[in-house]
Amino acid sequence: MQYTKFGRTGLTVSRLCLGTMTFGLQTDEAASHAILDRTAEAGVNFIDLADVYPLGADNSLVGRTEEVVGRWLKGRRDQFIVATKACGEMGPSPWDKGASRKHLLSAIDASLDRIGTDYVDLYQLHSDDTDTPIDETLEALDTIVKSGKARYVGVSNYLAYRLARALGRADVLRVARFVSVQPRYNLLFRQIERELLPLASEEGLAVIPYNPLAGGLLTGKYRHDAAPTEGRFTSATVGKAGAMYQQRYWHEREFETIEALKGIAKDAGESLTRLSLAWVLANPTVTSAIIGASRVEQLTETLGTVDYTLPPELKAKLDDASHAYRWGDAAR
């Protein structure tokens, strides 16, 4: 395993981070713990959670992933960098979601209780709550950091202009500043290269992208003319999230691109899975890529990719084949 500094902080994390959103629904507790065991053996010290997980959960299931991981962490909490997120809907009341002071101060306590820890290393806003003044959110997060319940704060699914504004307001208010951003990023979704990644580079933010394999589509195992029967593209395994993943990626153009990428991988003598993940890690702005699994055997290729160096000429071919997914290269 390789390790790196987490943006401009003094924190050191593995270049692969274990995503846990399948734990507790798509993946039962025994399999989840086996996945955690395998990644820990490989040297992964970074675990990413969210209070709304597992993926596709309704209000009766939210929080289960934190509980599953919390039971595994017992007795070894100090060996891992633990991140979780808040903002999603956790209950029936209007204040059971969002980034208000009321919700965030309650949400951090609930997450800590489920994980069974006194603090998380990274506390992230899972999405942007435009209905709450950013100053209120920043001051609430500052309270959480100063209380010792979180070491650092970050964001996920933020537009560049909103993140830039939040960083500026944090400087003005002299409160805890976001140190990281968690965006969706892969060969089929490259929009963040235009503004978000340059902002992260200039501000020294850690970048921890999720969906590096486009929910499994970039493994090359699916066909557009065959309905999915397992994985993240079906409601049978991830409930309501199956439709979301189909909306993201299940399109004729994406499958045409995958065929081109398969050809590149075949010529290189490598798997499409390895090349897709290596391409994300090859971006110098990326700190740690979030990998997921529903079965231990799915980790074999992804864990090994961290030691693979993508040749520049091969990266250029992948760049060219997926260039259309940058959306907005024109300067004017």
Rounded CA separation 308/332 (Å) = 37
The per-residue pLDDT for 89 is 87
Which CATH number covers residue 79?
3.20.20.100
Question: Is position 248 within any domain?
Answer: no
Rounded CA separation 204/183 (Å) = 15
Per residue in 121-143, pLDDT (tens digit) is: 999 999 999 999 999 999 999 99
Q: Has residue 236 got a pLDDT over 60?
A: no
Question: Is position 15 within any domain?
Answer: yes
Better-scored residue on pLDDT, 329 or 220: 220
Q: Has residue 286 got a pLDDT over 60?
A: yes
For the chain, the average pLDDT equals 92
Count of domains for the chain: 1
The per-residue pLDDT for 145 is 98
Q: Has residue 234 got a pLDDT over 70?
A: no
Residue range of the domain that includes 88: 3-216+277-308
The per-residue pLDDT for 294 is 86
DSSP reduced 3-state for 59: coil
Short-list 158, 161, 177, 179, CA closest to 169: 177
The per-residue pLDDT for 116 is 97
Please state the pTM of the whole predicted model: 0.91
Find the mean pLDDT for residues 3-11.
97
The per-residue pLDDT for 31 is 95
The per-residue pLDDT for 235 is 61
Burial 110-129 (b: 16+ CB within 10 A, else e): bbbebbebebbbbbbbbbbb
Rounded CA separation 69/51 (Å) = 12
Question: Is position 102 within any domain?
Answer: yes
User: Which region among 94-98, 99-103, 111-115 has the lowest average model confidence (pLDDT)?
Assistant: 94-98
Q: Has residue 61 got a pLDDT over 80?
A: yes
Find the mean pLDDT for residues 202-212.
97
Short-list 23, 21, 56, 28, CA closest to 238: 56
Question: Is position 203 within any domain?
Answer: yes
Per residue in 237-258, pLDDT (tens digit) is: 556 777 777 777 777 888 899 9
The per-residue pLDDT for 72 is 97
Q: Has residue 196 got a pLDDT over 70?
A: yes
The per-residue pLDDT for 41 is 96
Question: Is position 284 within any domain?
Answer: yes
Residues that are catalytic: 53
DSSP reduced 3-state for 257: helix
Question: Is position 264 within any domain?
Answer: no
Question: Is position 271 within any domain?
Answer: no
Beta bridge partners of 18: 47, 291
The per-residue pLDDT for 26 is 85
Better-scored residue on pLDDT, 318 or 304: 318
Question: Is position 262 within any domain?
Answer: no
Better-scored residue on pLDDT, 23 or 330: 23
